[in-house]
């Protein structure tokens, strides 16, 4: 059985995903164990806010926003998951070195 992200794990998320409830389309599982949940666009800013840095929160909050994130809860370290839309099929690929830390 593969490891799943613990509900209480602190993860990084794009402010758009957290504050605007935009669909998370990109998930990184970095080699240092960190998880990032991103909106998938190039601009992560939120209108009316200077917040562009990732927000740190417990994984269970993201799961409450979007239960389909359960599908990639066992994403292996060093891999990323991408999808086009909420509920869409995830494609899983090795994380590129430049995405492995931030």
Which residue ranges make up the site for Zn ion (CB under 5 A)?
14, 16, 38-39, 44
Closest-CB residue for Zn ion? Answer: 14
Q: Looking at beta carbons only, is 38 or 75 nearer to Zn ion? A: 38
Collect all residues with Cβ–Cβ distance below 8 Å to 53 and sequence separation of at least 6. Answer: 15
Closer residue to Zn ion in complex, CB, 39/62: 39
User: Cβ closer to Zn ion: 37 or 59?
Assistant: 37
Please state the closest distance from residue 43 (CB atom) to Zn ion, in A: 7
Q: Report the b/e string of 44-58 with b at 16+ CB within 10 A.
A: bebeeeeeeebbebe
54 DSSP assignment: P
Query: Is 50 within 8 Å of 94 (Cβ atoms)?
Result: no
Q: Which pair of tokens denotes residue 71?
A: 């599908």
* Min dist. Cβ of residue 39 to Zn ion (A): 3
Nearest distance, CB of residue 32 and Zn ion, angstroms: 20
């Amino acid at each position: 059985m593969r490891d799943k992200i613990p509900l209480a794990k602190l993860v990084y998320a794009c402010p758009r995903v957290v504050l605007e409830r935009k669909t998370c389309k990109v998930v990184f599982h970095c080699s240092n164990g960190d998880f990032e949940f991103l909106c998938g666009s190039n601009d992560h800013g939120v209108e009316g806010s200077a917040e562009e840095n990732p927000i740190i929160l417990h994984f269970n909050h993201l799961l409450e926003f979007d239960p389909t994130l359960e599908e990639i809860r066992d994403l292996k370290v060093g891999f990323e998951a991408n999808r086009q839309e909420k509920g869409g099929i995830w494609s899983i690929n090795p994380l590129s070195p430049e995405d492995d830390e931030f």
